[in-house]
Amino acid sequence: MAARRPGRERAWAAQGSVPAALAEFLHLNPPSGRENGEEENKILFYHPNEVEKNEKIRNVGLCEAIVQFTRTFSPSKPAKSLHTQKNRQFFNEPEEHFWMVMVVRNPIIEKQSKDGKPVIEYQEEELLDKVYSSVLQQCYSMYKLFNGTFLKAVEDGGVELLKERLEKFFHRYLQTLHLQSCDLLDIFGGISFFPLDKMTYLKIQSFINRMEESLSIVKYTAFLYNDQLIWSGLEQDDMRILYKYLTTSLFPRHMEPELAGRDSPIRAEMPGNLQHYGRFLTGPLNLNDPDAKCRFPKIFVNTHDAYEELHLIVYKAMSAAVCFMIDASIQPTLDFCRRLDSVVGPQLTVLASDICEQFNINKRMSGSEKEPQFKFIYFNHMNLAEKTLCYFESKNANLIEVKRRNFNAAERKGFSLPYKRQK
């Protein structure tokens, strides 16, 4: 799920060219179709589905042949990508015998020849292997977050269940991929942390401890403000992909014009409760409706160890959002949701106001609204912290565009990607 980055898109439009786009996306399980006449059984998912059967089998066979051929030279590290004039193919084996293949069309620039005829020029060097290989890995991680592993699906209901889950998930997910906007940040898959002073951080920690004590069935909690993470009880790899989902999918879908501070419209869902701004982003829409459905998305974490299945409850007040995760064996009731709303809503509203006030003070002191003199990408491997000023919003659209020539040159020469690393 690549986030839209306006500079890249404006640049492509200005050049009158065609940006990178998804051509094909497929999942394979080669052992399922080893016998003659059973080649189609290797295909677990194929996009676009309109491709005729024989062409699907031919393309799958080609992908399998490429992987097997490269194994003769590097048995432990088969092919990761294949470059052609028109396309770039990316291969990933996230689980043994389960392959994912993504085919991306190379960007095109239309030029005029000396005689005035249009000439198509394929920008073969515009796509960086590390970037789109990371995007392919993110596709698997996002699937696993909401569906568990491929192997677990096969164990639970056979290959047909896996096919159903792949179709249901990727039919929607592939529509959210903005491949023309992918860049170095997709390699890191980092988390943007919200800067806080010690006292405000302790207030948040105290709030989380009180909530976990009051709502005893809560297993894990995460706290975000302004789409930036402040605290999480999840493992880093699980929080990394959950953060990606929250900031690129869930939060944008529920974005509303909200005023900072206490000037936002106050909502009081239940009679007798303290007035507050809280609302569910997942779960019941109207707590006053006795027939409201308490359905929450399920997520899978610690899949390499305990394999935990959890309900994801996301509750927001102003710019503060808190994620409560409870065991999937426990079905939240409407009474529980009302209790959560009455307990969390007022306290989260006050806390969000305090954070907003502190944030505005820090912003005035730092003068962060000024256009930065330098642009950088920072990534910390230890805590996955990521920060960049490459996409600083400016009236001049050209200042948003990241200069990619140096990155492309470094990639071709095999240099390390430039970023500041915390020791």
Which tens digit of pLDDT belongs to each residue from 139-156? 999 999 999 999 999 999
List the domain boundaries for the chain: 14-182, 188-254+274-422
pLDDT at 2: 56
Q: Supply the mean pLDDT for the chain.
A: 83
| CA dihedral over 220, 206, 198, 246, signed as positive or negative | positive
> Percent of the chain, pLDDT > 90?
52
* pLDDT value of position 227: 93
Q: Which class in CATH covers the domain with range 14-182? A: alpha beta
Residues of the chain with pLDDT under 70: 1-16, 33, 256-274, 366-372, 391-423
Q: What phi and psi, each to the nearest 5 degrees, are found at residue 52? A: -70, 160
Q: pTM of the prediction?
A: 0.83
Instruction: Please tell me the predicted confidence (pLDDT) of residue 292.
Output: 86
Burial 233-246 (b: 16+ CB within 10 A, else e): ebeeebbbbbbbbb
* One-letter-per-residue 3-state SS of the chain: CCCCCHHHHHHHHHHCCECCEEEEEEEECHHHHCCCCCHHHHEEEEECCCCCHHHHHHHHHHHHHHHHHHHCCCCCCCCCEEECCCEEEEEEEEECCEEEEEEEECCEEEEECCCCCEEEEECCCCCCHHHHHHHHHHHHHHHHHHHCCHHHHHHHHHHHHHHHHHHHHHHHHHHHCCHHHCCCHHHHCCECECCCCHHHHHHHHHHHHHHHHHCCCEEEEEEEECCEEEEECCCHHHHHHHHHHHHHHHHHHCCCCCCCHHHCCCECCCCCCCCECCEECCCCCCCCCCCCCCCCCEEEECCCCCCEEEEEEEEEECCEEEEEEEECCCCCCHHHHHHHHHHHHHHHHHHHHHHHHHHHHHHHHHCCCCCCCCCCEEECCCCCEEEECCCCCCCCHHHCCCCCHHHHHHHHHCCCCCCEECC
What is the bridge-based pairing of β-strands 420-421 and 377-379? parallel
Superfamily in which the 188-254+274-422 domain is placed by CATH? Dynein light chain 2a, cytoplasmic (3.30.450.30)
Equal CATH topology for 14-182 and 188-254+274-422: yes
For residue 398, the model assigns a pLDDT of: 39
